[in-house]
Amino acid sequence: MLTNPKARAWVQIRANALRANFMNVRDRVGSETGILPMVKADAYGLGLEASMRTLEPLGPWGFGVATVSEGVCLRELGFAGRIVVCSPAPRETMATAVQHGLELSISSLDALRALSEVSSRTESKADYHIDVDTGMGRSGFDWGDTSTWLTDATKGAGGARCVGCYTHLHSADVNDDTVEEQWDRFSRVAELIGSKRRADESEFTFHVLNSAGVFRTPEFASSVVRPGIFLYGGEIGDGQPRPQPVVSVHARVALVRSVAPGTTLGYGSTYVSKREERWATLSIGYGDGLPRVLSNRGCAILKGVRVPIIGRISMDVTVVDITEVESAREGDVATLIGSDGSVTRTLDQVAAEAGTISYEVLTGLTSRLPRVWTDEGE
d(CA 230, CA 90): 29
Name which of 79, 87, 84, 91 is nearest 55 in CA terms. 79
What's the CATH number for 247-345?
2.40.37.10
Q: Rounded to whole angstroms, what are the CA distances from 13 to 53, 249, 264, 289? A: 14, 9, 36, 16
Pairing of strands 126-133, 160-166: parallel
* Inter-residue contact 207 to 166 (CB < 8 Å): yes
d(CA 102, CA 333): 43
**pLDDT, position 195:** 83
For 182-302, list the strands marked E by DSSP: 205-207, 224-225, 247-259, 264-265, 271-272, 277-282, 299-302
* Inter-residue contact 100 to 72 (CB < 8 Å): yes
Rounded CA Rg of the chain: 24
d(CA 192, CA 200): 17
Q: How far is CA 170 from the centre of its chain?
A: 15
Same fold, 15-225 and 247-345: no
Q: Where are the domains of the chain?
A: 15-225, 247-345
Query: Angle CA(244)–CA(178)–CA(183) in degrees, nearest 5?
Result: 95
d(CA 207, CA 194): 14
* Inter-residue contact 103 to 204 (CB < 8 Å): no
Q: How far is CA 9 from the centre of its chain?
A: 21
**pLDDT, position 175:** 80
Q: What is the pLDDT of residues 23-51, one digit of tens each?
A: 999 999 999 999 999 999 999 999 999 99
Under 8 Å CB-to-CB from 201, ≥6 apart: which residues?
none
What one-letter code names the amino acid at 87? S
First to last CA, the chain: 9
DSSP label at 58?
G
Instruction: Give catalytic residue positions.
Output: 40, 267
**CA quadruple 115, 119, 124, 125: dihedral sign:** positive
Which residues, given as ranges, of the chain have pLDDT below 70?
1-5, 198-202, 376-378
The CATH architecture annotation of domain 15-225 reads Alpha-Beta Barrel (3.20)
**pLDDT, position 190:** 95
